[in-house]
Amino acid sequence: MSATLDTGKYTRKQVHTGWAMFDWANSAFALVISAAIFPFYFTEQIDDSFLLGRMTISDDAIYSYSITAAYLILILTIPLLSGMADSGGKRRTFMKMFTYIGGLACISLFFFTGHEGLWLGVAGFALANIGFGGSLVFYNSFLPIIAQDREMDRLSARGFVLGYIGSVLLLIACLVLILKGPDWGIQDAGLPARISFLLVGIWWIAWAQYTFRRLPREAQVESQRGLMAKGLRELRHVVFKLKGMVATRRFLISFLFYNAGVQTVLYLAGTFAEKELDFEADELIVVILALQLCGAVGAWAFAKLSERMGNKSTLLILVSLWTGVCVLAFLTHEKWKFYLLAVLVGLTMGGIQALSRATYGKLIDEHPEDSASFFSFYNVMYYLSIMMGTFIFGLLSQWTGSMRYSILALGGLFITGALLLTRVRIAPAGKQEDL
């Protein structure tokens, strides 16, 4: 751990547990709201299409635009805030700020009850995404600070495992509430879903307190005056460092491509199952649960494999498996085959997400004092990859008239990512040996 951080009364193991529990806290938003319940609730509550000024806009378009707006705000603000966090000792402070923004935004969705409350729903969902994405930057930035190189793979995987398990537990509770609501005397059909949004916000904020108590406290900066200017200088400083870190830059570009494929598959798996294989809502919930539970197993299993084979080799195996996922999805026409494919997606999802975070942590572990700024670039690549992948998918789907050809084409993103990854050399102890 960095000498500039005060861990207080907690041991290294307790700090690690506290850090990993943040995944348990915030993953409920990603699963319960983003993936499972809110998309269906949103389209049920508002008109299929409506006038926005002089333009007719559909419900799914305004939903997509809210996500895009959230990512754009993060891309424009996170690098500067990260520079301020590094220069002013504010990683923990900004992590708290985004957590409360996200959690309270989830709670606000409880009051979204129909088309007349459209902008409350749109704003609440967008702010929740901003809180989720922003808090992750500063959460991830603690990894190279609290963990040694040999600990990063397992600790990163531990966080994802806890996130998958915690979010599934809360989702099951919310689904029971939705299904049993009428039997319990709840007459308002939308109330169980709204209570679910409320529970997510409370869960997120409440469990995050466990993390905040155990995260190490940063050294206090004597003066906070001119913090924005200091943040800009810190950001320029990190950009200058990145110019000389060839392996890190190559990894980020590789990550941009293969993560575009990963996130596009995850975002559109439900739509593919519904439109191409005629899945019903209850069947899609089973798919989502399978993804999460298998994700927990995959994160742990591939962390163990990376300890034996190294990060680069394990990531190349994972990217190759994802290429296979695209081919198999193109060939899948039966529901039972899609369930098996969901198991493979879940296993590789957990592995590639946990290992990508840990690999980047190793590549920058010689610069823990700049970790927030470095991880801001990682997250900017993450957001850009989502926008790039979904745009390519949508464009190809429109041209070809079939989601199958679109998902097959995503294999090209994985192949490109793999080729770029072969040029990254990750040496022991995180020291870079650039090719």
Does 324 map to a domain? yes
Which residue stretches of 215-310 are H helix? 227-243, 246-277, 281-309
Helices H / strands E in the chain, number of each? 16, 4
Q: Is the dihedral of CA 11, 14, 19, 22 positive or negative?
A: negative
Does 434 map to a domain? no
Does 190 map to a domain? yes
* Domain carrying residue 279: 5-425
Mean pLDDT, rounded, for 177-204: 92
pLDDT confidence tier of residue 427, bands split at 50, 70 and 90: low
Mean pLDDT, rounded, for 188-194: 91
Residue type, 313: S
Write the Ramachandran bin of 401: left for phi over 0, alpha for psi from -120 to 50, otherwise beta.
left
Mean pLDDT, rounded, for 107-130: 93
Q: Would you say residue 434 has pLDDT above 60?
A: no
pLDDT confidence tier of residue 288, bands split at 50, 70 and 90: confident
Mean pLDDT, rounded, for 35-43: 84
Total domain count, the chain: 1
Q: Would you say residue 432 has pLDDT above 50?
A: no
pLDDT at 373 (0 to 100): 83
CATH of the domain at 333: 1.20.1250.20
Give percent above pLDDT 90 in the chain: 47
Of 44-53, 122-131, 161-170, 261-270, which gets the smallest average pLDDT? Answer: 44-53
Distance, in Å, from the CA atom of 269 to the CA atom of 85, rounded to the nearest integer, reads 36
Give percent above pLDDT 70 in the chain: 93
CA 254 vs. chain centroid, Å, equals: 17
Residue type, 336: W
Query: Could you tell me which residue, 266 or 138, shows the higher pLDDT?
Result: 138
Does 433 map to a domain? no
Residue 333 CB neighbour total at 10 angstroms? 10
Does 306 map to a domain? yes
Q: Report DSSP state, residue 226.
A: T
pLDDT at 1 (0 to 100): 47
Residue with tokens 């504010």: 90
pLDDT at 429 (0 to 100): 43
pLDDT at 390 (0 to 100): 77
Q: Would you say residue 224 has pLDDT above 60?
A: no
CA 433 vs. chain centroid, Å, equals: 29
Write the Ramachandran bin of 147: left for phi over 0, alpha for psi from -120 to 50, otherwise beta.
beta
- Complete DSSP assignment for 11-39: -HHHHHHHHHHHHHHHHHIIIIIIIIIHH
- Complete DSSP assignment for 349-365: HHHHHHHHHHHHHHHTT
Does 430 map to a domain? no
Does 432 map to a domain? no
Q: Would you say residue 399 has pLDDT above 90?
A: no
Query: Could you tell me which residue, 402 or 28, shows the higher pLDDT?
Result: 28
Does 374 map to a domain? yes
